[in-house]
């Protein structure tokens, strides 16, 4: 029996579950772990793959949110900075400090605008000069003064900035540099949260490609899109953590709501050594005159550029289109005027929808990034209350989960057992962050497994300390590099397929690894990965062929959110 049929058969035998969580983005899986650690049995379902929504499409900043200060969201910035520091500690295998530089084109520009926004006027944000940025960065440093995990900010003169970052637009007057953090493998951290939840309480289950389709006699009918069957579950409480899809999901449960007002954001992954060298080991953060924020940063040998804040109606239809690509190229030229990026340098694009609360604000950058919980009480035809998680940031998922659990636990009659603020996640447990500790760890794991030290170092970076279990399993001489992508081993891929809830090839390529993100999902790589998956998961040749087709990266400038969508039923094997 596979893990999927195990879960589905178990639910048929006993449909009762304390909490049914709909949606396996970071907020859903964060809540799953939070409740598992309190001893609450949960079932989490996602209509697509886990982390297929906004949580795999973010800019990967684990940050306070400098510009939210303008909107008097001091509590949110404070909470975000605390959560950032916790993730630096608890997920040190994937989250690390990120130096961030803001090019400044005036000294006082935007001060009046910032002051008006701060006092609540609906003014469109624009680029900011040195003074408003200074005030914001001072607050940033002040908030974390007692738990400082990153250096404090500094300003650099025009001459100094052009010396350090020679490609910058010479029209700058100075630059401001501060530290936030970035997450490399956001998708893997979510899978690790599921593993941790299952370890904490094996009654907690998570299943992808399953969605609620209707209510039937007070039960929620779930459809398994992979196997085609349905199963009815009887939850005490339901949590709708489906992000931008919250209202659509409520509709399936017979409820008309208008909580969400999503905005899309797009990213380009570039193979552009010229821009890579110009940006260096930092993130450059700039705001266009229209108020939209853009970023560019180096990532595992590539460069990622992103922009955000375009209103979308249907989250399933969001895509990184030509207009978005052109916009990002144009805004980049304002910061690095001499860097030329031919279209062929774009390896991959992705687009996601930020689950913002519905607000009638004309300026989307002004909509709050805070989070809230809307409760819809039980009704005769729906004998369970529905808790809808609205908004939020990747950075604050743990705090959001903690707050949601604190609302749910009294309702379930369960007392909180433990706090999660200091609990490491997955391969972040006992992670050797300091260089000396790291070398010692690598030497120890190499000795124990027989793998070469260089290879153990790669595995440590990819999986944190969870690498040790795999290294011991394969042992010396047990690995065979993929022909098409030798930095991955056949056995490594097999291990992921066996242990990480992979249903489709795209899950492996885009959400259990960074193969797709880095633009490495070439036809020969997909074919070789499909052959490995075929052996491990029992696919026949036709299914392998079909999976290769479905996992192909979308053409640049068209429907790039394809890999985040559930696969059409007619295309399943
Ligand atoms: C472009 C962009 C950049 C961002 N950058 C940052 C950043 O740098 N830092 C930061 O902190 N935050 C950032 N964010 C915000 C952050 O990504 C989101 O707030 C966060 O990922 C939301 O997580 P979620 O779990 O609520 O939603 P999602 O990740 O969207 O998860 C919702 C899940 O629900 C599933 N689902 C949908 N309908 C159903 C259904 N009917 N039944 C079951 N499952 C369903 C979907 O498949 C999906 O997996 C960014 C967002 C975007 C879009």
pLDDT score of 192 more than 90: yes
**Quick one: which atom of ligand 1 is closest to the CA of 61?**
8
Q: Contact at 8 Å (CB) between 319 and 559?
A: yes
Label residue 112 by pLDDT band (50, 70, 90). Answer: low
Label residue 573 by pLDDT band (50, 70, 90). Answer: very low
Give Cα 56 to chain centroid, integer Å: 4
- Output the CA 535–ligand 1 centroid distance in Å: 32
Q: Contact at 8 Å (CB) between 332 and 274?
A: no
**Quick one: which atom of ligand 1 is closest to the CA of 248?**
41
Sign, CA dihedral 62-68-69-74, equals: negative
Tens digit of each residue's pLDDT (9 = 90 or more) over 138-179? 988 988 787 888 999 999 999 999 999 999 999 999 999 999
- Output the CA 283–ligand 1 centroid distance in Å: 22
> What lines the ligand 1 site, CB under 6 Å?
22-28, 45-48, 52-55, 57-61, 63, 211-212, 241-245, 249, 252, 265, 308, 352-355, 392-395
Which residue's alpha carbon is at the smallest distance from atom 25 of ligand 1? 25
Among the listed ranges 191-200, 327-336, 353-362, 393-402, which one has the minimum average pLDDT value? 353-362
Q: Tell me which residue has tokens 């939020």.
A: 392
pLDDT at 448: 94
pLDDT at 361: 65
pLDDT at 505: 98
The SS3 call for residue 559 is coil
- Output the CA 353–ligand 1 centroid distance in Å: 7
The whole-angstrom separation of Cα 398 and Cα 26 is 9
Which residue's alpha carbon is at the smallest distance from atom 35 of ligand 1? 23
Give the H/E segment covering residue 525.
Answer: helix 523-537
- Output the CA 28–ligand 1 centroid distance in Å: 9
pLDDT score of 52 more than 70: yes
Q: Contact at 8 Å (CB) between 49 and 23?
A: no
DSSP label at 562?
G
Q: Contact at 8 Å (CB) between 100 and 137?
A: no
Instruction: Give the Å distances, CA to CA, from 48 to 316, 356, 567.
Output: 11, 21, 8
Label residue 564 by pLDDT band (50, 70, 90). Answer: very low
The whole-angstrom separation of Cα 535 and Cα 1 is 16
**Quick one: which atom of ligand 1 is closest to the CA of 29?**
25
Tens digit of each residue's pLDDT (9 = 90 or more) over 501-553? 999 999 999 999 999 999 999 999 999 999 999 999 999 999 999 999 999 99
**Quick one: which atom of ligand 1 is closest to the CA of 244?**
30
pLDDT at 366: 64
Q: In 3D, which of 46, 12, 22 has the Cα closest to residue 503?
A: 46
Residue 351's beta-bridge partner residues?
Answer: 266
The SS3 call for residue 66 is helix
Q: Which one has a higher pLDDT value, 501 or 292? A: 501
Ligand 1 mutation target, pool 58, 368, 387, most atoms within 8 A of CB: 58
The whole-angstrom separation of Cα 34 and Cα 399 is 10
Q: Contact at 8 Å (CB) between 232 and 219?
A: yes
**Quick one: which atom of ligand 1 is closest to the CA of 354?**
53
- Output the CA 370–ligand 1 centroid distance in Å: 14
pTM to 2 decimal places: 0.95
- Output the CA 523–ligand 1 centroid distance in Å: 28
Q: Contact at 8 Å (CB) between 90 and 423?
A: yes
Tens digit of each residue's pLDDT (9 = 90 or more) over 260-284? 988 899 999 999 999 999 999 999 9
Q: Contact at 8 Å (CB) between 139 and 133?
A: no
Which residue's alpha carbon is at the smallest distance from atom 46 of ligand 1? 53
Tens digit of each residue's pLDDT (9 = 90 or more) over 352-406? 999 988 876 666 666 677 899 999 999 999 999 999 999 999 999 999 999 999 9
Q: Within a 10 A sphere around the Cβ of 519, how many other Cβ atoms? A: 18
Tens digit of each residue's pLDDT (9 = 90 or more) over 481-498? 999 999 999 999 999 999
pLDDT score of 562 more than 90: no
The whole-angstrom separation of Cα 497 and Cα 512 is 9
**Quick one: which atom of ligand 1 is closest to the CA of 252?**
41
Q: Which one has a higher pLDDT value, 225 or 565? A: 225
**Quick one: which atom of ligand 1 is closest to the CA of 28?**
25
Among the listed ranges 107-121, 285-299, 440-454, 482-496, which one has the minimum average pLDDT value? 107-121
- Output the CA 440–ligand 1 centroid distance in Å: 37
Q: Which residues contact 289 (CB under 8 A, 6 or more apart)?
A: 126, 127
Tens digit of each residue's pLDDT (9 = 90 or more) over 82-95? 999 999 999 999 99
- Output the CA 267–ligand 1 centroid distance in Å: 15
* First-to-final CA distance of the chain: 18
The average confidence (pLDDT) of the chain is 92
- Output the CA 259–ligand 1 centroid distance in Å: 15
Region 203-219 average pLDDT: 97
pLDDT at 119: 72
Instruction: Give the Å distances, CA to CA, from 274 to 53, 98, 303, 343.
Output: 31, 21, 10, 14
Region 60-65 average pLDDT: 93
């Amino acid at each position: 029996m596979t893990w999927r049929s195990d879960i589905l058969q178990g639910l048929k035998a006993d449909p009762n579950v304390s909490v049914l969580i709909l949606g396996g983005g970071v907020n859903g899986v964060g809540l799953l772990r939070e409740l598992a650690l309190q001893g609450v049995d949960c079932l989490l379902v996602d209509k697509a793959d886990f982390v297929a929504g906004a949580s795999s499409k973010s800019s990967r900043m684990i940050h306070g949110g400098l510009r939210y200060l303008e909107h008097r969201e001091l509590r949110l910035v404070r909470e975000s900075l605390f959560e950032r520091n916790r993730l630096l500690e608890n997920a040190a295998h994937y989250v690390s400090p990120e130096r961030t530089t803001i090019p400044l084109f005036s000294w006082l520009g935007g001060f009046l605008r910032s002051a008006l926004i701060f006092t609540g006027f609906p003014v469109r944000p624009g680029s900011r000069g040195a003074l408003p940025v200074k005030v914001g960065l001072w607050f940033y440093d002040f908030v974390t003064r007692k738990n400082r995990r990153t250096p404090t900010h500094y300003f650099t003169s025009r001459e100094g900035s052009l010396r350090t970052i020679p490609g910058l637009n010479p029209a700058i007057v100075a630059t401001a540099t501060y530290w936030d953090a970035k997450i490399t493998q956001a998708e893997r951290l979510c899978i690790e949260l599921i593993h941790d939840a299952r370890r904490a309480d094996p009654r907690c289950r998570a299943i992808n490609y399953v969605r609620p389709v209707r209510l039937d006699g007070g039960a929620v009918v779930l459809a398994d899109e992979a196997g085609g069957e349905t199963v009815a579950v009887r939850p005490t409480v339901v949590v709708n953590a489906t992000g931008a899809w919250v209202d659509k999901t409520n509709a399936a449960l017979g409820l008309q709501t208008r909580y969400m007002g999503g905005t899309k954001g797009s990213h380009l992954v570039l193979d552009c050594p010229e821009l890579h060298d110009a940006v260096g080991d930092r993130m450059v953060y700039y705001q266009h005159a229209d108020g939209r924020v853009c970023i560019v940063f180096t990532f595992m040998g590539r460069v990622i550029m992103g922009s955000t804040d375009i209103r979308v109606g249907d989250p399933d239809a969001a895509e990184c289109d030509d207009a978005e690509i052109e916009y990002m190229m144009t805004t980049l030229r304002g910061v690095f005027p001499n860097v030329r990026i031919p279209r062929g340098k774009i390896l991959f694009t992705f687009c996601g929808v930020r689950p913002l609360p519905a607000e009638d604000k004309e300026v989307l950058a002004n909509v709050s990034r805070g989070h809230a919980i809307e409760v819809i009480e039980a009704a005769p035809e729906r004998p369970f209350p529905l808790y809808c998680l609205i908004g939020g940031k990747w950075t604050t998922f743990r705090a959001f989960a903690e707050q949601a659990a604190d609302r749910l636990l009294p309702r379930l009659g369960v007392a909180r057992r433990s706090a999660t603020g200091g609990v490491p996640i997955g391969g972040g447990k006992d992670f050797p962050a300091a260089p000396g500790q790291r070398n010692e760890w690598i030497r120890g794991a190499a000795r124990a497994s027989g793998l070469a030290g260089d290879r153990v170092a790669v595995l440590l970076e990819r999986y944190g300390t969870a690498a040790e279990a795999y290294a011991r399993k394969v042992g010396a001489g047990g690995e065979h590099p993929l022909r098409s992508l030798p930095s991955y081993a056949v056995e490594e891929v097999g291990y992921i397929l066996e242990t990480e809830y992979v249903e489709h090839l795209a899950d492996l390529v885009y959400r259990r690894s960074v193969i797709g993100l880095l633009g490495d999902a070439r036809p020969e790589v997909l074919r070789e990965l499909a052959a490995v998956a075929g052996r491990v998961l029992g696919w026949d040749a036709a299914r392998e062929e079909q999976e290769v087709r479905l996992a192909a990266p979308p053409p640049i400038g068209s429907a790039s959110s394809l890999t985040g969508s559930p696969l059409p039923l007619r295309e399943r094997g």
